[in-house]
Amino acid sequence: MSNAFYLKYRPQTLEQLIGQETVKKTILSSFQNNKLSHAYLFVGPRGSGKTSTARILAKMVNCEKSTVYGLPSTAKQAEVGSRKSEDITIPCNKCKTCISITDGSNMDLIEIDAASNRGIDDIRSLREKIKLAPTASKKKVYIIDEVHMLTTEAFNALLKTLEEPPSHVLFILATTEGAKIPQTILSRVQKLDFKLATQGELLEALERIVKAETIDIDKEALTFLAKRADGSFRDGVKLLDQIAAMGEKITTKSLEQNLKSGEFQNILNLIKDFNDSALALLNINRQLESGIDAKALTLSLMDIFRNLLLIKNGVGEALVSPNFTSDKYQDLIKASGNFTNQKITSNLDILQKALEKLKFASIPQLPLELAVVEMCSLEQTIDDRKLKVVVEDSKIENREEINIPSSIVKDLSSTIYPPPSSSDSSDISKLKEKWTFVLETIRPFNFSLEALLRSINITECTQNKVLIEVPYSFHQRILEAPKNRDLLESIISDILGRNMGILVSLGNRPVRADDIANIEVAEDDEIIRAAAEIFNSDTVN
């Protein structure tokens, strides 16, 4: 796919950055007051300008015209005064350092894509190199993109560097998934939130390019493009690039035809492939490889299903037919025969969700692929659901017949039957779903706590408390230790998106010798205490 316009019009100063007023203000005032943090975390959806801002910041600290950053505070005071009258824009984008950052040849700007360098060895080698002074610039700048993809061990190694970074280093971490960043990292960085551009802001940016490149496009068509880009500067510019290459006067009508016509037959084939998920996945990957982006493809699929829905409900002649040639309209009518109203609305639901997820996806086609698999299995799901009910019925019968001990029934019932309040149950299932993430986050800090958390039971979740049931009182003591409690509470709060505390209670699980396996990785003294508690609970105390 062509990237020419995107690279050419990528913002090179904070002023050129679209939207992001808070981010701009924060960076600018810290910069002017010589109070930049040594580590930033940029959080926001794809295409919101995180990487561009990171490179601008790298230029700001290293620009040869910058007299503010890095000077002793007395000199800084004098400089601030004189700088105002000279009014130099920093970065200047003209000095050797600025240019070397723009063209990617600067040795002191190190960009790491955590999605492909996510291991402990990558971070270890980074830690080695970090000690060396910058070769030609004032600061070594490390940009770690998609930082949430780092393994737990790599996070842990990075943490040590973030704790005591050499003074010549600036870290800029970027992620689409803020919720996946461990609290321990968050507490050592300054977090800045990026938002998608509004349609107006995007339109303004596209207009700038249209003027500079003298592209023949009317305002209505440009608005259509801005809408299609859905807040992403990158997507908008790429679309404009694609359209401009056609070289003719661009109107909404020609835009609609050109963005659609190439895809129409492919999309129709795709929905015919829905009875075979392998075929459907191959189909979308073929289309993505040919340069259509995942968002455009998702929108086209939604568009087709919307048309099928209108046809199904008897307004095809009035609302669909005028937008298509008669051949295409007949194809649509034929396709509508394969879908029920219910199936079409379910598919639209699935696609709508995929579109939302797309904004934050680190693998851009993944939400669409998942949606396609889900749509392909739609019919199957209905059969599965019937089956599940039968299985659960038989489970209930069994339970009454063989009289399983009440403690186990309690476990079973919490998984089979949803708890009474709906928000409660969705919180619990959210936590259960993310429990592996909780364990992975805790492991590097505290092995025994992680091991313990493998055998707990979450019984209730209120507005601000998670009730955790543990089998032994020493488990309760470990969990209630302030350090452990803080760690667990911060992770749970992150997952649920609100301030949560934990309440630990003892479950009435029978004492059995093999349960000691659960604590095999606990520290020595804890094992001894645990053993004492389990085996001599009557004699100790």
By beta-carbon proximity to Zn ion, the closer residue of 69 and 233 is: 69
Q: Hey, which residues between 376 and 435 contact Zn ion (CB under 5 A)? A: none
Q: State which residue, 28 or 120, has the beta carbon closest to Zn ion.
A: 28
Region near Zn ion per CB under 5 A, out of 37-45, 88-96, 129-137, 269-277: 88-96
Which of these ranges, 60-68, 155-163, 238-246, 405-413, lies near Zn ion under the rule CB under 5 A?
60-68
Instruction: Give the residue with the Cβ less far from Zn ion, 70 or 419.
Output: 70
Applying CB under 5 A, the site for Zn ion has a residue count of 6
**Interface with Zn ion in residues 90-129 (CB under 5 A):** 91-92, 95, 98
Q: Does 366 bind Zn ion (CB under 5 A)?
A: no
Measured CA to CA in angstroms, residue 79 lies from 35, 69, 86, 91, 515 at distances of 15, 10, 10, 16, 68
- How many CB atoms within 10 Å of residue 131? 10
3-state secondary structure of 70: coil
- Closer by beta carbon to Zn ion, 106 or else 321: 106
DSSP-derived letter for residue 105 is: -
169-175 and 140-145 beta bridge pairing: parallel
Stretch that binds Zn ion, among 59-67, 103-111, 343-351, 401-409 (CB under 5 A): 59-67
Show the DSSP H helices in 313-405 as ranges. 326-336, 341-358, 366-376, 378-402
Over the window 301 to 320, marking each residue x when it contacts Zn ion by CB under 5 A and - when it does not, the resulting string is: --------------------
Cβ partners under 8 Å of residue 397, min gap 6: none
CB of 65 to Zn ion, least distance (A): 5
Residue with tokens 């086609």: 365
Smallest separation (angstroms) from Zn ion to the CB of 98: 3
Question: How far apart (Å, rounded) are the C-alpha atoms in residues 202 and 456?
Answer: 49
Piece of the chain touching Zn ion by CB under 5 A; list 86-94, 214-222, 267-275, 386-394: 86-94
Give me the least distance between CB of 112 and Zn ion, in Å please: 24
Residue 490: closest CA among 445, 539, 537: 445
Residue 245, C-beta contacts closer than 8 angstroms, at least 6 positions apart:
2
**Is 65 within 8 Å of 87 (Cβ atoms)?**
no
CB 99, min distance to Zn ion, A: 8
Compare residues 88 and 528 and give the one whose CB is closer to Zn ion.
88
- Between residues 62 and 156, which has the closer beta carbon with respect to Zn ion? 62
Nearer to Zn ion, 59 or 343 (CB): 59
Written as six digits, the tokens of 184 are 């321990």
If the CB atoms of residues 134 and 178 are measured against Zn ion, the closer one turns out to be: 134
**Measured from the CB of residue 91, what is the shortest distance to Zn ion in angstroms?**
5
Q: Interface with Zn ion by CB under 5 A: which range of 65-73, 128-136, 382-390, 420-428? A: 65-73
Q: Which residue, 96 or 227, is less far from Zn ion as judged by CB?
A: 96
How is residue 280 written in tokens? 């459907």
Contact window for Zn ion (CB under 5 A) among 58-66, 155-163, 165-173, 279-287: 58-66
Give the phi and the psi of residue 168 in degrees, each rounded to 5: -90, 10
What tokens were used for 313?
């409900």
Order of all β-strands in the sheet with 140-145: 109-113, 140-145, 169-175, 39-43, 190-193
Name which position in 56, 63, 109, 519 contacts Zn ion (CB under 5 A): 63
| In the complex, least distance from residue 17 CB atom to Zn ion, rounded to whole angstroms | 17
Closest approach, Cβ 22 to Zn ion, in A, equals 25
Burial label, 453 (beta-carbon count in 10 A; 0-12, 13-18, 19+): buried
How many Cα neighbours within 13 Å face the side chain of 520?
A: 5
Minimum CB separation of residue 478 from Zn ion in Å reads: 54
Q: Give 97 or 184: the residue with its C-beta nearer to Zn ion.
A: 97
Structure tokens at 220: 């209505």
The residue type of 143 is: I
Stretch that binds Zn ion, among 63-71, 110-118, 458-466, 467-475 (CB under 5 A): 63-71
For Zn ion, the closer of residues 65 and 180 by Cβ is 65
- The dihedrals phi and psi of 172, each to the nearest 5 degrees, come to -130, 110
Contact between 530 and 455 under an 8 Å Cβ cutoff? The reply is no
**Token pair for 388:** 């599940």
* Site residues, Zn ion (CB under 5 A): 63, 65, 91-92, 95, 98
